[in-house]
């Protein structure tokens, strides 16, 4: 790598889906060529050079650059530096872009894609009754498929290149296979966390994870990897470890983790953690377990105050998650600003009450780390993604800095965390493949997806008996 100059303003200081590949739900074809009519020319080939972009690598060994090149060869990042000679590589002019790793979501219930924004005023109780109660009881495999697909495509559109699908819709093996099918079709990098669902004779949780490992996840060298969406249950955790799957678990109670001191470890990610005891926080810190915070959801639905300061007080760097699209926009700009604002409010309040200092204030650099490299760690994918590092997978995004909402960019981290939104997401690479180009998703049949998701929504609403759900009227 050439040695580039650095500017201080930047820092402010295949076989996976053999069985389900033919899944052709709702009568619509599942494979579509890239539609170039709306996106013009999409660069192709084994070598692509991103030229002259503002690079935020999120890797201290690589650093940040006001202007540098990024070379992609196949699925990998192979070089970052000034004036890279790339021969016949396709060149993308990036001088008006910020180049950074894609965002990493560590917890989302993607099967609910057709239920987006259906509970705008809902509480956690409403969600448990209406979604986990009514919807989960009537949902079909094809609804799960399209829900996962639109959720994953929405993530890609927002610059999220990796997501953990907390798939507690294991009503039957067909439901589980459909969820995997939706993820696979989207082309996102995903961790499929197999979970339970509505009770019934077809529910094979958790034992069906053995079939999933053999049938879909025989290798970890794929876009999709395996986890168990577990309860706080030692037997389930043992099963996950038996098949080599990570463990992801909701922890919302007080004292729940104390009996699990010998079971926690760096392969476990605990979600929410809004009511933990001090002893439990110390246990998480001592064992290296991850913490996933869904700040907007936790605040508006009633989980409790997002535990960002508790995590930081114990030396734990959290990751971030959308959680549910029934209530929250599926993008990370809202996530980042929510967590940043909350943490700084807490520290300022401590200062006022205790006449202390503000040394504990988080920075925009911290927030971007939580949204990228820390998410990769909590998803068990740090060796593959989460930073722009030569040798890692080319999961990266190009954010436009020549738009009216951010120009002029005087601090690159500040622009991303505090000023940008999804309209700035110009280009998205996942494993070296362009999934969004010049502001539009590539390789999808929008009309097919639009029809399917509306048909799914209408079916679910008809089965639950919900009426007049639009314009703020209460469901149920």
> In which element (H, E) is residue 193 found?
strand 189-194
Q: Which of 278, 279, 283 is nearest to 270 (CA)?
A: 283
When pLDDT is averaged across residues 14-42 and rounded to a whole number, the result is 42
Q: Which two tokens stand for residue 48?
A: 């692509």
Confidence band of 14 (pLDDT split at 50, 70, 90)? very low
When pLDDT is averaged across residues 322-327 and rounded to a whole number, the result is 97
Residues 6 or more apart whose CB falls under 8 angstroms from that of 320 comprise 105, 106, 292, 293, 294, 295, 332, 335, 336, 339, 370, 371, 375
Q: Which of 277, 323, 318, 330 is nearest to 299 (CA)?
A: 323
d(CA 434, CA 217): 24
Would strands 64-73 and 47-56 be described as parallel, antiparallel, or unpaired?
antiparallel
Kindly provide the residue ranges of all beta strands, DSSP E only, lying in 74-188, ordered along the sequence: 76-81, 90-93, 97-101, 103-108, 160-167
Instruction: Judge residue 357's burial from the number of C-beta atoms within 10 Å of its C-beta, 0-12 exposed, 13-18 middle, 19 or more buried.
Output: exposed
State the DSSP code for 476. -
- The class level of CATH for 8-101+391-441 reads mainly beta
| pLDDT at residue 470 in the model | 53
| pLDDT at residue 359 in the model | 76
Report residue 271: phi and psi, to 5°. Answer: -105, 140
3-state DSSP assignment of residue 25: helix
Q: Do domains 8-101+391-441 and 103-378 have the same CATH topology?
A: no
Kindly provide the residue ranges of all beta strands, DSSP E only, lying in 314-456, ordered along the sequence: 319-320, 396-400, 425-430, 433-437, 440-441
Alpha helix positions (H), 380-421: 412-414
What angle, 0 to 180 degrees and rounded to 10, lies between the N-to-C axes of helices 364-371 and 332-354?
140
What is the overall mean pLDDT for the chain? 90
Which CB contacts under 8 angstroms, 24+ apart, belong to 32-41? 32/443, 32/444, 32/445, 32/448, 33/443, 34/442, 34/443, 35/442, 35/443, 35/444, 35/445, 38/440, 39/437, 39/438, 39/440, 39/442, 40/438
Confidence band of 358 (pLDDT split at 50, 70, 90)? low
When pLDDT is averaged across residues 131-146 and rounded to a whole number, the result is 97
Which is more confident, 431 or 41? 431
d(CA 438, CA 442): 10
| pLDDT at residue 469 in the model | 59
d(CA 361, CA 348): 8
| pLDDT at residue 378 in the model | 98
d(CA 393, CA 430): 8
Which is more confident, 71 or 29? 71
| pLDDT at residue 16 in the model | 26
Q: Which two tokens stand for residue 430?
A: 């996942």
3-state DSSP assignment of residue 84: coil
Residue holding tokens 């076989």?
Answer: 15
Break the chain into its structural domains and give their ranges: 8-101+391-441, 103-378
Give CATH superfamily name and number for 103-378: Metal-dependent hydrolases (3.20.20.140)
101-128 pLDDT per residue, tens: 999 999 999 999 999 999 999 999 999 9
Cα distances (Å, whole numbers) of residue 182 to 20, 390, 398, 473: 10, 30, 25, 30
Instruction: Judge residue 156's burial from the number of C-beta atoms within 10 Å of its C-beta, 0-12 exposed, 13-18 middle, 19 or more buried.
Output: buried
Instruction: Judge residue 27's burial from the number of C-beta atoms within 10 Å of its C-beta, 0-12 exposed, 13-18 middle, 19 or more buried.
Output: exposed
* % of the chain surpassing 70 pLDDT: 89
Confidence band of 184 (pLDDT split at 50, 70, 90)? very high
3-state DSSP assignment of residue 427: strand
d(CA 430, CA 438): 15
Q: Is the pLDDT of residue 7 over 50?
A: no
What angle, 0 to 180 degrees and rounded to 10, lies between the N-to-C axes of helices 141-157 and 446-464?
130
CA geometry: angle at 384 spanning 380 and 385, to 5°? Answer: 90
């Amino acid at each position: 790598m050439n040695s580039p100059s650095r500017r201080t303003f930047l820092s402010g200081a295949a076989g996976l889906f053999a069985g389900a590949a033919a899944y052709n739900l709702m009568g619509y074809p599942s494979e579509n060529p890239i539609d170039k009519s709306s996106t013009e020319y999409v660069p192709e080939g084994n070598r692509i050079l991103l030229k002259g972009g503002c690079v935020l690598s999120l890797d201290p060994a690589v650093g940040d650059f006001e202007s540098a090149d990024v070379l992609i060869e196949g699925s990998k990042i192979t070089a970052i530096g000034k004036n890279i000679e790339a021969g016949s590589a396709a060149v993308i002019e990036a001088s008006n872009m910020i180049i950074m790793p894609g965002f990493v979501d560590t917890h989302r219930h993607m099967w609910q894609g057709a239920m987006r924004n259906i509970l705008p005023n809902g509480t956690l109780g409403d969600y448990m009754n209406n979604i986990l109660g009514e919807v989960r009881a009537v949902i079909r495999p094809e609804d799960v498929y399209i829900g996962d697909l639109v959720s994953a495509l929405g993530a890609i559109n927002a610059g999220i290149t990796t997501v953990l699908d907390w798939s507690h819709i294991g009503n039957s093996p067909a439901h589980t296979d459909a969820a995997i099918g939706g993820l696979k079709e989207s082309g996102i990098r995903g961790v499929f966390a197999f979970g339970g669902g509505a009770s019934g004779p077809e529910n094979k949780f958790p034992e069906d994870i053995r079939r999933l490992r053999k049938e879909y996840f025989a290798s970890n060298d794929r876009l999709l990897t395996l986890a168990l969406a577990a309860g706080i249950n030692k037997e389930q955790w043992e099963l996950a470890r038996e098949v080599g799957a990570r463990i992801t678990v909701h922890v919302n109670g007080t004292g729940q983790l104390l009996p699990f001191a010998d079971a926690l470890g760096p392969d476990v990610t605990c979600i929410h953690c809004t009511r933990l005891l001090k002893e439990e926080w110390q246990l998480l810190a001592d064992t290296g377990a991850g913490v996933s915070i869904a700040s907007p959801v936790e605040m508006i639905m009633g989980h409790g105050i997002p535990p960002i300061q508790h995590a930081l007080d114990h030396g734990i760097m959290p990751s971030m998650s959308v959680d549910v699209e029934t209530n929250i926009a599926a993008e990370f700009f809202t996530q980042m600003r929510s967590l940043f604002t909350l943490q700084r409010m807490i520290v300022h309040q401590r200062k006022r009450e205790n006449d202390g200092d503000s040394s504990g204030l988080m920075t925009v650099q911290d927030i971007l780390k939580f949204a990228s490299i820390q998410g990769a760690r909590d998803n068990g994918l740090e060796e593959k993604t989460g930073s722009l590092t030569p040798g890692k997978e080319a999961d990266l995004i190009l954010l436009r800095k020549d738009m009216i909402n951010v120009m002029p960019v005087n601090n690159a981290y500040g622009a991303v965390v505090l000023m940008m939104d999804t309209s700035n997401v110009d280009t998205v690479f996942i494993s070296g493949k362009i999934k969004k180009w010049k502001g539009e998703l590539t390789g999808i049949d929008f009309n097919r997806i639009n029809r399917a998701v509306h048909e799914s929504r209408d079916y679910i609403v008809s089965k639950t008996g919900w009426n007049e759900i639009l314009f703020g009227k209460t469901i149920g």
